[in-house]
């Protein structure tokens, strides 16, 4: 299928994990893709190489989404290369798991700078520069639907993302841009796995209907649908993709 032909997509945090697979999948559907990274250039280069080996078009752009100037540069480079931006996937994010009493000011600021300010920065730029009839997908988390100790500031940041999604959808709807968020459950990525024991991962897997954690490939179909023309009437929604975990 090439139903995204002539579309241009920015994927933040696309050098590895879900972001890398999203970038590759969008390219396979015909989109021209901008692979954003902040530190992992080698990994981003591998994503680009894979896309181009299959006949796709893509560039990499280094940008820290928590920095206003970097986000402007990200859009500048995309438009310089491809002439427009149709799709924005806000995948970049970090997770810090600590009890609230153990969370430092530095932890809080770092997490909110990337998870919340990063989304805010890209939405603000998209308000002026995303093409009419475009699509935005932000990443939240199914942990928002649970009450798990050590997830306090993480779910607080993702709850903010969900609210930004809903309000921005109303603010930009007159341009026929739909804005949604997805909430994966436990997913087999570096972001999820770092610092977790096998026992912890197994316990979280047991919360799903399938007794396993998700794979990045489980998340991709809903992303591809939400950026398609068929999904335009789906707007300001948060969609759980979690194997019935919550």
**How far is C-alpha 109 from the chain's CA centre?**
20
Residue partners of 153: CB distance under 8 A and separation at least 6: 96, 98, 100, 103, 107, 108, 111, 112
241, 132, 227: which is closest to 179 by C-alpha?
227
Coil, strand or helix: which one is 11? strand
The catalytically annotated residue of 37, 151, 154, 210 is: 154
Q: Is 37 among the residues known to form the active site?
A: no
Coil, strand or helix: which one is 46? helix
49, 195, 159, 74: which is closest to 124 by C-alpha?
74
Q: Counting every residue, how long is the chain?
A: 246
Q: What are phi and psi of 146, to 5 degrees?
A: -125, 175
**Distance from the first to the final alpha carbon of the chain:** 32
For 107, the token pair is 């932890």
Q: Which helix (H) or strand (E) holds 87?
A: strand 87-90
Active site residues: 154
């Amino acid at each position: 299928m090439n139903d995204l032909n002539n579309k241009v997509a920015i994927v933040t945090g696309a050098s590895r994990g879900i972001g890398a697979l999203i970038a590759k999948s969008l390219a396979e559907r015909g989109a021209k893709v901008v692979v954003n990274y902040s530190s992992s250039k080698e990994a981003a280069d591998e994503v680009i190489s894979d896309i181009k080996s299959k006949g796709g078009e893509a560039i990499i752009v280094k940008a820290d989404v928590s920095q206003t100037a970097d986000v402007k540069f990200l859009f500048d480079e995309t438009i310089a290369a491809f002439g427009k931006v149709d799709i924005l996937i806000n995948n970049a994010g970090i997770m810090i798991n600590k009890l609230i009493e153990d969370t430092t000011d530095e932890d809080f600021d770092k997490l909110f700078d990337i998870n919340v300010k990063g989304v805010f920065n890209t939405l603000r730029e998209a308000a002026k520069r995303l093409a009419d009839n475009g699509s935005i997908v932000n990443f939240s988390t199914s942990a928002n639907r649970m009450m798990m100790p050590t997830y306090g500031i993480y779910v607080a940041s993702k709850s903010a993302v969900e609210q930004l999604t809903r309000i921005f959808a109303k603010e930009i709807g007159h341009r026929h841009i739909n804005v949604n968020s997805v909430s994966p459950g436990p997913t087999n990525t570096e972001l999820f796995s770092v610092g977790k024991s096998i026992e912890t991962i197994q316990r979280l897997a047991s919360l799903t209907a399938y007794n396993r954690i998700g794979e990045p490939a489980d998340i991709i179909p809903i992303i591809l649908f939400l950026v398609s023309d068929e999904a335009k009437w789906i707007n300001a929604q948060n969609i759980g993709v979690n194997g019935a975990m919550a």
